[in-house]
Amino acid sequence: MLQALKDIFLFNQDAPLIFTRFFFWGFFALVLAGFSIIYKKKTLRNAYLFLVSLFFYYKTGGLFFFILLFSTFTDFFIGLAIYNSQTTLRKRLFLALSVFLNLGVLAFFKYDYFFTETINSVFKTNIEVVTHAAKWSNMFFGTHFDLAKILPPVGISFFTFQTLSYSIDVYRGKVEPVRNMLDFGFYVSFFPQLVAGPIVRASEFIPQLYKDFSLTKEQFGMAMFLILNGLMKKMFVGDYIAINLIDRVFANPHTYTGFENLIALYGYSLQVYCDFSGYTDIAIGVALLMGFNLPKNFNSPYKAKNTGDFWKRWHMSLSSWLKDYLYIPMGGNRGGSLFTWISLSTILVFAIMLAGKLWLAPLFAAVIFGIWLLARIFPGLKLTITTNINILLTMLLGGLWHGSNWTFVMWGGLNGLGVVVYKFWRKISPYENSNHWIANAWKIFFTFTFITFTRIWFRGETWKGTMDLLHQIGTSFGGSMFPEMASAYWKVLLMMAFGLTIHWLPETVKVWYRELFIKTPIWLKIIICAATVFLIYQVVSAGLQPFIYFQF
């Protein structure tokens, strides 16, 4: 009995509270039961959901929930201070404090170990990193975190960007500050989207805190559809192809043929979409059952006809965040600004530290001076140069948001380069304005292939691993073994074909079967839910796979 209570209420590093565990749905059922009693009392409802969200985060991230509380506490009072300040200077100072605290916390937990390694490498020091939160967790909860490595709290990039955007929006006058700490805590920590998004803007969500609960029959049907759709994406398609091919190949790419590496790479593009969009589908559905609307985060991204279109469809809450809080402040397509040069300097400092080569500093300084001089000598090129620099910087910073190593820098840089190259290509492309199905199919396939190629660096944990994969594809394709490999992986290939076919279905077809489900009677919905869960657990592995974006 005592052990059962510990399992329920204490953090277990090996059993986080995630959507793919039955324990979560038991937790959610209890949350709904309590919610059904108090939902008419908005203040009590918000406080209740804040507390259960804290419990959810504790069960998922352990003692790191104190970091969540710190971000909530500081930005609540900073938001009030910004709003109540009588001068622009005071508003800017408080905003700067919010930026410093949020990015400082993010940098400490995501980049401190990287900075320490770099300093030790460059200056031949022997500084050690000790994670005190991990030390306390090991002491009190029996976990086994590595004390020599700072582990980022689950979802820190998501809730940090969320609280930071709140302070910026209060400063810009887009939203008034929340007056109740518990209401603000609920906005920051709402458990469906807390650890992997979507990133929710204050202007979109805070007004919902004070609205009466409402859930129509159609919204209930939509919520159930999204939850089932998300579970199918994640567990039926994504996890299956990951376990049966992708994880094996990426762990040892040199032991597989180039064909197997290529199929694993295309499979990973499908997996990361199924995994991440599956999570957000479930999050949106769970939130909707409690009367809250979260923003759409994916819009069939592999239907994109160019790289720019892809980033309007993929992780839309992050893409729009980067656009509104990075790209536009840097000048966007109107030219450069001081923020452009600050961002460029930040990227170059990261590059120097990643490389561990101080001699790169004068080289990069010469590059910056050369760009500035080119813009001065040729005024007609200035707008083109600065706009494209803004695009590249936004994508590079987006890459660094995911992690502090060369692979993420490369991934972000390639995507930025893809957007820039397309801007020039569309001016001379012979089929840019063609709507013929062959032209559209080619554009979609080419974009999908380019995005898949960049995922080598997104998935690869080391630079050597990515090079091994590219080497195998380029030199050991194993064409004579196609029949044998197709026979060995026919189930995985069939699952990939199934996932991509569903993804590429016309939107009218998707709307049709979604509306069909929504209109079914409740008894039929129950049967469909039971059948879907049964189908999922026919292919599920013994150990449930974590969501990929939990690490960010």
Give catalytic residues, as residue numbers: 402
CA distance 299 to 275: 14
* Closest listed residue to residue 269, CA positions, set 314, 321, 318: 314
Q: Which pair of structure tokens corresponds to residue 450?
A: 């380019």
The amino acid occupying position 522 is I
Biggest distance spanned by C-alpha atoms of the chain: 78
Q: Dihedral (C-alpha) 63, 64, 69, 70: value to the nearest 10 degrees?
A: 120
* Closest listed residue to residue 382, CA positions, set 329, 331, 324, 347: 331
DSSP letter at 243?
I
CA distance 111 to 101: 15
CA distance 328 to 337: 10
Number of H helices, E strands in the chain: 25, 0
| Phi, psi angles (nearest 5°) of residue 360 | -70, -20
3-state secondary structure 405-418: CHHHHHHHHHHHHH
Q: Which pair of structure tokens corresponds to residue 286?
A: 């769970």
Contact of 11 with 58, CB cutoff 8 Å: yes
CA distance 310 to 290: 31
CA distance 67 to 134: 13
Q: Which pair of structure tokens corresponds to residue 46?
A: 């918000």
Q: Which long-range contacts (CB under 8 A, 24 or more apart) does 255-259 make?
A: 256/472, 257/472, 257/476, 257/477, 257/478, 257/481, 257/485, 258/472, 258/473, 258/474, 258/475, 258/476, 258/477, 258/478, 259/477, 259/478, 259/479, 259/481, 259/482, 259/485
The amino acid occupying position 188 is V
The amino acid occupying position 394 is T
Give, in degrees to the nearest 5, the angle at Cα 205 between 203 and 211. Answer: 110
Instruction: Report CA-CA distances (Å) from 147 to 144, 358, 386, 442, 504.
Output: 9, 29, 44, 50, 46
* Closest listed residue to residue 548, CA positions, set 265, 289, 192, 279: 279
Contact of 336 with 386, CB cutoff 8 Å: yes
Give, in degrees to the nearest 5, the angle at Cα 292 between 289 and 293. Answer: 110
Roughly how many angstroms between the first and final C-alpha of the chain, as a whole number? 36
